Amino acid sequence: MLEVNGLCKRFGGFLAVNRVSFELRAGEILGLIGPNGSGKSTTFNLIAGTLRPSSGSIRLDGKEIAGLPAHAVCHQGVGRTFQIPRPFRKLSLLENVTLAAYYGEAGGIARSEAEHRAAEALEMVGLPSDRSASTNGLGAAALKKLELARALATRPRLLLADESLGGLDRAEMERAADLLGDIRSRVGITIIWVEHIMGVLMRVVDRVIVLDHGEKIFEGKPAEAAGDPRVAEVYLGKPKA
């Protein structure tokens, strides 16, 4: 479904993403992990069209999407969450997600249909979909769910989820991980899931890629990642000789 080839992103003299290549099959859930600053969000921003690659190619179902603007990538069926949720605070939950539903539809849709898609997305993540539900007082876990609902309301085939567990406690992390697994099986969506910690992500993903300093240092089964010497070095520090 997705083929990323030799992807690079330079910020001035700094290479944030360095020749990253990977493939993704439809229906798969791929974990993209790595320490803070390893280039995970930048990779997402390149795929989602928030940033233009310095070089490299990104093919979705064989079609080049690298360098397309974000709305065009969204209309090709790629939805994404942001690491830092920024909902419209003066709008209700339903209105926030309804806007996302409008954004996701290139040809325009009726308000009733946009609201229907929004309510469906809110229900899928377990947030209230009635008109009176507001964003006031939402905790970290609910804000992450709202991000997911906004992405899902665009009806993506490919979902890019950025740090859906950030700021959550252990129990919330478990529930959020199960939620992503559920969403995958319920709507048959393909997912790339970014997280800087390994933790619960490892029991949900089919495959994992590890980034370090913008480079892919590991790709394989979650169970093999922890035993890989380069991954261990990145996460646990260099072993003493």
Ligand X SMILES: Nc1ncnc2c1ncn2[C@@H]1O[C@H](COP(=O)(O)OP(=O)(O)O)[C@@H](O)[C@H]1O
> Which residues, in sequence order, are CB contacts of 71 under 8 Å at separation 6+?
49, 103
Among Mg ion, ligand X, none, residue 16 binds (CB under 5-8 Å by kind): ligand X
Which of 134-156 are b and which e, b meaning 16 or more Cβ less than 10 Å from the residue's Cβ?
bbeebeebbbbbbbbbbbbbbbb
Cα–Cα distance for residue pair 2/71, rounded to 1 Å: 18
For residue 83, the minimal CB distance to ligand X (Å) is: 7
Ranges within 70-99 binding Mg ion (CB under 5 A): 83
Residues of this chain that interact with ligand X (CB under 6 A) are 11, 16, 34, 36-42
What are the structure tokens assigned to 189, written together?
Answer: 């969506």
Among Mg ion, ligand X, none, residue 38 binds (CB under 5-8 Å by kind): ligand X
The reply to whether 38 sits near Mg ion by the rule CB under 5 A is no
Among 38, 41, 98, 135, binds Mg ion (CB under 5 A): 41
Identify each DSSP E strand in 34-90 by its residue range. 55-60, 63-64, 78-80
Segment contacting Mg ion by CB under 5 A, of 33-41, 108-116, 166-174, 221-229:
33-41
Q: Is 128 exposed, middle or buried (0-12, 13-18, 19+ CB in 10 A)?
A: middle
Q: Between 51 and 78, whose beta carbon lies closer to ligand X?
A: 51
Among Mg ion, ligand X, none, residue 78 binds (CB under 5-8 Å by kind): none
Residue found by looking up tokens 């892919």 in the block: 216
Among ligand X, Mg ion, none, residue 88 binds (CB under 5-8 Å by kind): none
**Could you list the residues that contact Mg ion (CB under 5 A)?**
40-41, 83
